[in-house]
Amino acid sequence: MTLITDLAPAAGRLLDAVPLLIDRTFPLAERFQKQLPRSIAELSRLLTSGRGERGASYLEKPEMLQAYLRYFLPWNLYRLSRLLPGLSLELREGDAVTDLGSGPLTLPLALWISRPDLRSVPLEFRCVDRAGAVLRAGRRFFAALAEFTTGAGATHWRIKTAAAALGAPVRGKPAALVTAVNVFNELYEDLPYHDHASLAGKARAYAGLLCRDAESSVLVVEPGVPRAGEFIACLRTALAEKGRLPLAPCPHAGPCPCPGGFSPGGKKTRWCHFAFDTAGAPAGLRGLSAAAGIPKERAALSFLFSGSAKRSGENAPAARPAETAEGGLPVRLLSDPFPVEGGNLYGRYGCSEKGLVLIRGEKSRIGALVPGSLFTAEPCAQTRTETRDRKSGAFIIDIGAAAARTAGTAAPASFRAGPRRRRTGL
């Protein structure tokens, strides 16, 4: 299964319409339109280097809310629309979804755009956020998007919103899915970067919050930055301790080989994230990004999808031999291709039950593998030995003409590696 999918044509058309629908739903006077790039740049600063100045109710300010709706919401919809089709959410008629820190209903909007198979399924969304203004804006925009899509305002989805703190009780029946998109990074951002113990403690606390409903699956998506990758690894451990094993992106339930954080020597360690191009994002959005001085050629995210305790036992990649005669070694591809030093080979990093893996081969074969896809190394001598890459310590798998298979769509044959560069993607 390829986790980061190409946009379906219909999803691409809806994403292209999002900026125009936002302008129609939330019209701006001309003078506010002119200052929009500056407002976007300022909000970006408050979310990064200036976070100490931001305050808890920053989205209650009209100029910040408009900047969020016109810039951050469309980019988040693009990221999620590349991810959600590759996840086995298995939502059924009558199921409830609890979306924590929902903002302008980002998760329901992205599901509507990228999962048309769910639009006709009666679902209940309980969207919780501390900012009532952003929830109200989300309801308005969801109604506009649904009407644009179907020609009618009514849908099979029931949207409930609650302006409340993150830990507040959520009324209603147990949720089949609990989600949190770009939520937790605002809650651990003030921790010192070397304070792994406190980050792990917060992850354990948030795991308890996510697991209030015993039968729910859990989806957490965070920015694709090193600290978020470290948090996701901590959350993975905390959820596993509660019997909720990972369903994606992990191909195994063993220790995470990309935990992030720092080594004893003070160097950053590898962290799990997925990066992809932005060529399919709306042209107007890319132009607005450039005007704000924050153009995007690549988008990235870190995420974890875990099952309920029952579902984890049935479907998760639980403890099992790392290699079987039938299946080979499952590897989740993580990085872009890069030239391997000392030869004409190219490589990609991956995650496996054996730990970090370096898959090596000819440029064309390595380039045809898709980041995020599940690669299976066939049982062979290479997968039974413990050959390690001297630089990374990764377990090496050399692939030949018939040494491997992948699940997912192949990359375009026109892949070009470009100039030699340092290894990326971890």
DSSP state of 52: G
pTM, two decimal places:
0.88
Cβ contacts of 65 within 8 Å, gap of 6 or more: 59, 133, 134, 137
Walk me through the domains of the chain, giving residue ranges and CATH numbers: 9-315 (3.40.50.150), 329-407 (2.40.50.1010)
| CB-CB contact of 273 with 250 (8 Å) | no
| CB-CB contact of 393 with 426 (8 Å) | no
Residue 109, pLDDT score:
98
Residue 174, pLDDT score:
95
C-alpha span between 304 and 206 (Å, rounded)? 13
Q: What is the mean pLDDT of each run of 10 residues along the chain (426 residues)?
A: 87 95 92 86 86 76 91 96 94 97 97 96 97 95 95 86 93 96 92 94 96 93 95 97 94 92 80 91 90 90 88 45 56 90 83 92 88 76 64 85 39 28 36
Alpha helices in 151-225 (DSSP H): 185-188, 196-210
Residue 53, pLDDT score:
78
C-alpha span between 98 and 162 (Å, rounded)? 11
